[in-house]
Amino acid sequence: MSDASYLSLQKLTLAYGDTVAVPDLDLDIAKGELIALLGPSGCGKTTTMRAVAGLLPVKSGHVRLDGADITHVSPNKRAVGLVFQSYALFPHLSVYENVAFGLKLKGLRGAELDKKVRSGLTSVGLSTFADRKPAELSGGQQQRVALARSMVMEPKVLLLDEPLSNLDARLRLEMRTELQRVQKETGVTMIFVTHDQAEALALADRIVVMKAGKIEQIGSPEDIYNRPVSSFVADFVGFENIFPLENGRLRTASGLEELSSQPPSAAGLAWRPRMVSLGTGPFRGTVRGTSFAGDSREYLLDTPLGAIKAEVEASAPAHPLGAELAFDLPAHKAAPLSTFS
């Protein structure tokens, strides 16, 4: 076992009945990494996570953890923790008993049990809530109980299902910091599933973008954000102007278009709205929509190329609806895409 493949999914195929949800997935995760599985719903990210936990039987392929093949190890013997999206706290047990649940099954009793439960609760800042029932806690508190309940088991891998999606914006930031702190302090390998690119970018060491059961791209947040390899990833991380490239020219709604400068060789090019230069350039478009977002202003243009989204500094003069504008799609700013779908 190398350090880079502490958790290793090898040719993993997962299915619900006869419907294959994830075909032949290969993924290596290093010890102590914080990985995000990112993708739209139905992309197989949750399925993959459930297979790692052992909640979904594997159709073929292997799951290896810490040098051992755990493909057919039952979920209660895997040392894998899971924080559910709904938290899945036991409603009839107090916060203390929830955290103690797994430890008791491990055979811990008395002072040793109490010490572990207390320190687990303290580490998530809930030591004064020990006697409350889950229903008496806020969403954020419930999630921290779920986190403590998993962490006191000292899992080799901690899985988190959409950990921030049920929280409001303020709690989200708090929880994000909390997760990073727990990860740093314990060194646990963490995998979280999300459909929110901002969440993945902010939290993960490495992001695995999935589409239709397959890995579309693996990379650091910078890679994913700046250098998407496919039109799918580009679209997912906010490149709104995406075109295929044919013989150095853009394939657009009105046929092949020459760019203002020589493009790199790629299957397609993608521009974020703020990469579009407005005011000068070889293309023309009509303002169809405009929205003001404080620092910036976004325009939706009707152009012979198709719809174009452009973003400029809010301090620039505003253009009214119906105004005709020149614009450019500078080739040197575009992200080159190696696959286009």
Sheet of 206-211, strand order: 80-83, 157-161, 189-194, 34-38, 206-211, 214-219
Q: Name the segment binding other proteins (CB under 8 A); options: 30-38, 75-83, 259-267, 269-277.
A: 75-83
Contact residue for other proteins among 23, 42, 75, 140 (CB under 8 A): 75
Residue 317 to residues 279, 281, 312, 326, Cα–Cα distance (Å) = 11, 18, 9, 14
**Smallest distance, Å, CB 90 to other proteins?**
5
Q: Which of 20, 101, 114, 118 binds other proteins (CB under 8 A)?
A: 101
Residues 107-146 that bind other proteins (CB under 8 A): 146
C-beta of 151 vs 237, nearer to other proteins: 151
Q: Does 88 bind other proteins (CB under 8 A)?
A: yes
How far apart are alpha carbons 211 and 233 in whole angstroms?
9
Q: Are 162 and 193 in contact (CB under 8 A)?
A: yes
Taking the complex as a whole, how short is the minimal distance between the CB of residue 14 and other proteins, in angstroms? 11
Provide DSSP, 303-332.
Answer: ETTEEEEEEEETTSPP--TT-EEEEE--TT
| DSSP helix/strand/coil, 293 | coil
Residue with tokens 């159709």: 59
Pairing of strands 335-337, 324-328: unpaired
State which of residues 3, 19, 67, 92 lies at the interface with other proteins (CB under 8 A): 92
CA dihedral (327, 331, 335, 336) positive or negative: positive
Closest CB to other proteins among residues 90, 292: 90
Position among 1, 4, 40, 55 found at the interface with other proteins (CB under 8 A) = 55
Instruction: Tell me which DSSP letter residue 316 carries.
Output: S
Q: Does 292 bind other proteins (CB under 8 A)?
A: no
With respect to other proteins, which residue has the nearer C-beta, 95 or 146? 146
Rounded least distance, CB 154 to other proteins, Å? 12
290 CB-near residues (< 8 Å, 6+ apart): 297, 298, 299, 300, 318, 319, 321
Q: Which of 106, 109, 115, 332 binds other proteins (CB under 8 A)?
A: 106
Between residue 24 and residue 53, which ones bind other proteins under the rule CB under 8 A? Answer: 53
Identity of the residue, 79 or 212, whose beta carbon is nearer to other proteins in the bound complex: 79
Asked if 341 and 232 count as a contact pair (C-beta separation under 8 A), the reply is yes
Residue from 12, 22, 43, 82 in contact with other proteins (CB under 8 A): 82
- Pairs from 218-222 (Cβ < 8 Å, separation ≥ 24): 218/27
The nearest distance, CB 97 to other proteins, in angstroms, is 11
Which ranges of 7-58 would DSSP assign to H, the alpha helix?
Answer: 45-53
Query: Binding to other proteins by residue 91, rule CB under 8 A?
Result: yes
- 298 Cα distance to chain centroid: 26
Tell me, rounded to whole angstroms, the distance of Cα 263 from its chain centroid: 30
Piece of 79-87, 170-178, 190-198, 221-229 that binds other proteins (CB under 8 A):
79-87
Q: Which of 1, 16, 119, 314 is the binder for other proteins (CB under 8 A)?
A: 16
Residue with tokens 């000292």: 154
Tell me the per-residue interface mask from 140 to 179 with other proteins, x by CB under 8 A, - otherwise.
------x--xx--x--------------------------
218 binds other proteins (CB under 8 A): no
> Tokens standing for 99?
């955290």
Binding residues for other proteins (CB under 8 A) = 16-17, 53-57, 74-78, 80-82, 84, 86, 88-92, 101-102, 105-106, 146, 149-150, 153
